[in-house]
Structure 1
Amino acid sequence: MTHHPHLPTTESAVAAVRAVAAEYRRAMTVTEDIGADRTSRRSSAPRFSVTDPDGSLPHEAFVELDGTPAVDVRLFPDGDAAITVDGVEFQDLPRDCVPPFLTAVYGGLAFVKGRFFPPGYQLCVPLPGDETYKELVPGVSLTPWLSGRVR
């Protein structure tokens, strides 16, 4: 199993996403929210405060990558992430799996599985070390990128 460097901060996670984007020649836009008053979910911070109880400054980033498929990554201060691939949302991912996840998507490893009953498609993203993330494709129609990955 390949060892992924631990991404302790939002900055290091953004840098790791930037490296994957460069490898696959994708332009990216980063929007950063720094401070508990700016980030979207801070259960631990008291209302109207900028720092967490431990005095640290929480940092959240939203990364959009161009090209097909449409990909965006939201990095949360708690060390987790959400990735949306062509409208399919993967929630509560460990931040460490973001680079291998993007590499799987851009490297052509991601695939779509269809089922007749119950009807629906799943986007499957295999990661090194026998881990596969699966998420239901919303709606009934697939984007051109998704339909090109049906197995």
Structure 2
Amino acid sequence: MRHHLILRVVTKLLVGAIILFALYVQFHGDFSPGGGFQAGVIMAVAFIIYGVVFSLRQAQRVFPPWLVHKLLALGVLIYAFTGLVSMALGYEYLNYGAFTPHHPEHGQHWGILIVELGVGVTVTGVMVAIYYAFAARPPTISDKDW
């Protein structure tokens, strides 16, 4: 394991920066290219890189599979709940003007931000779940046969 020392140190340094960049893309997505999907993929990459370098077991200790599955549902619920709130306020489903009727532009901003948050949470969960599913499979060919 000593020959992976530089890779491990660099990964530990990069994971925090990757997560910070994902948050920037998430919350700055309505002003520039980006948003929930891109931020979700970037956030998932931080955990996937950690798993590739340190092992699947270590990644699952940091980001347990039960939490990944909860995030899948949470993101969809955030998205759906945003639409239901607008309907409860007397508007159409996902009509963001319902959030601030006296100033619909602000409602649009908040609605998009909340929906994109739901998308980001779901995409992070899906990407990490796919990585966990594939990485947990036993190899069919031994390393010597390559």
Which structure has the higher relative contact order (CA within 8 Å, separation 6+)?
A: 2
Larger radius of gyration: 2
Higher strand share: 1
Name the TM-score class by shorter chain.
Answer: under 0.3
TM-score for both structures, normalised by structure 1? 0.22
TM-score for both structures, normalised by structure 2? 0.22
